[in-house]
Structure 1
Amino acid sequence: MIETATDDRSFPPALAEAARTEFARADGDGIDFEPYDAFDSAEETTDWLRSWTGNHDLDGGAYRVFGQDGTGGLAALWCVRPGLPLAEQPVVFMGSEGACGVVAGNLSDFLWVLADGTGPMEAVEYDDAPGRADPVLASLAERHATTPRRPAHEIIARARAEFPTYAEDVRALCR
C-alpha cells in the first residue's frame, strides 16, 4: 500500500482554470481531455482503483482524480512525495483499456505538456505524441507554472525516468 503524501483535497487554482477552458479537439488531432472542476471524492477514487485493478483490498488515498479522456481513462495527481503539496505530486494516467503511466513530474510540468498540445492519454499511449501547441493552454501555463517551459516529450521522458516502475507497480496490484 502506498502511503498518502497528503490528505489535502483542495483543488489547485491551475486545475480550476483548466476546467473552465475548452480543449480543442481539432477533428481528432487535438487533446482528448475533459478536466473536472473538483477532485473525485475519496470513495469514488477507491471504487475506481478497485475496479481498474480488480483488487478490492486497495484504497485510492494516494490519488486525486481530476479529469478523463473520452473513453473514461482517468488523470490524477499521485500523492507519492510525502510532505509536499498537491502541486508538487506527479500526474499519472490510467486508461480505460489498461494503459497507465506517469505524464509529468508535477502539476506545473503538466500544464506545459497541455500547452504543447499533448493530453494525459496521448502522453502515455504514444511514445512521440504529435501535439499541436495550444495558445490558450500556453497562456494558462504561463499564469500558473512554476517550472520553465519545455517540450512535452522532454517533460514526459523526465517523469518516466523519475518513476520508471510506476506502470509495473500498478499492474502488480491487479488481480
Structure 2
Amino acid sequence: MSQTDDRRFPPALADVAEVEFVYRGEGDDIDFEPYDAFDSAEETTDWLRSWTGNPDLDGDAYRVFGQDGTGGLAAIWLARPGRPLAAQPVVFLGSEGENGVVAGNLSDFLWVLADGVGPMEATEFKAVEGTPNTALTAIAERHATTPRRPARQILAEARAEFPTFSEDLGKLCR
C-alpha cells in the first residue's frame, strides 16, 4: 500500500485480531480487544470530535483498529504524508484522556505486542516489560520488517521521534 487514505486492513492486524487477549487485571495481562477491520471514517470522526470536544475535526489522520476494556482506542496515526499505513506510527488514546505513541510503525507494534505490552499498558502505565506471547511472536516473525527489539527500546524510539504528540493533541481539544 502506498496511499495513506487506504482503509484496507493490513494482514498483520488481521492475524492479531485472531489472537485471544485474556485480561484478568493481573500484572502482565494485555487489556486489548483488536478489531478485524478499521473503524469507518465516520465512526473515527465522531470519536475524535467527542474525545477532543472539537466539532471542527475529522478523523482522517487515524485508522482505529482496537480498544481496551474502557473504550480507549489504538490507531494508526497518519503522521508521515505519502507513506504506507505500515510505515505510520501506532498511538493510543485512552477513555480518560491518556494518550501516547506506542510504536514508530506497525512492524514495531507487532514486536511490542510480542513482548507482552499492549497499547494501553504502554501509554497509561508506561509499561515497558511484559510476558512474551508465543502467538504474537509468531505473528511478528511472519509480518515484521523491522528487527526484533525489546518493547522498552521500541517505546523509547517512538517517543523520541514524536515528542510533542500529546501536547499537539491537547491543542486540538476544546
Give the TM bin, normalised by the shorter chain.
Answer: over 0.9
TM-score, normalisation: structure 1: 0.94
Give yes or no for contact 2:129–2:151 (8 Å, CA) kept in 1. no
Q: C-alpha offsets along residues 73-94 of structure 1, whole Å, 9 cap, x if unaligned?
A: 0000001111111000000000
Counterparts of 2:45 and 2:135, CA distance in 1: 33
Counterparts of 1:94 and 1:132, CA distance in 2: 23
Corresponding residue of 2:20 = 22
Aligned-partner SS, 1:28:
coil
TM-score, normalisation: structure 2: 0.95
| Letter in structure 2 aligned against 1:41 | S
Residue 27 of structure 1: how far off its partner (Å): 5.0
Corresponding residue of 2:166 = 167
Alignment of 1:71-82 (within 5 A): 71-82=70-81
Corresponding residue of 2:56 = 57
Residue 32 of structure 1: how far off its partner (Å): 0.4
RMSD in angstroms over aligned alpha carbons?
A: 1.2
Match of 1:13 among 11, 15, 29: 11
Aligned-partner SS, 2:149:
coil
Corresponding residue of 2:148 = 149
Counterparts of 1:159 and 1:129, CA distance in 2: 13
Residue 95 of structure 1: how far off its partner (Å): 0.1
Q: Report the identity percentage.
A: 73
Q: C-alpha offsets along residues 117-155 of structure 1, whole Å, 9 cap, x if unaligned?
A: 000001111234441111111111101100011110110
Provide structure 1 residue ranges, at least 5 long, that are not aligned to the other structure: none
Counterparts of 1:72 and 1:127, CA distance in 2: 18
Residue 164 of structure 1: how far off its partner (Å): 0.2
Counterparts of 1:104 and 1:80, CA distance in 2: 12
Residue 6 of structure 1: how far off its partner (Å): 1.8
| Letter in structure 2 aligned against 1:172 | K
Counterparts of 2:103 and 2:123, CA distance in 1: 10
Counterparts of 2:66 and 2:118, CA distance in 1: 10
Residue 24 of structure 1: how far off its partner (Å): 3.5
Give yes or no for contact 2:115–2:129 (8 Å, CA) kept in 1. no
| Letter in structure 2 aligned against 1:17 | D
Counterparts of 2:16 and 2:68, CA distance in 1: 14
Aligned residues: 171
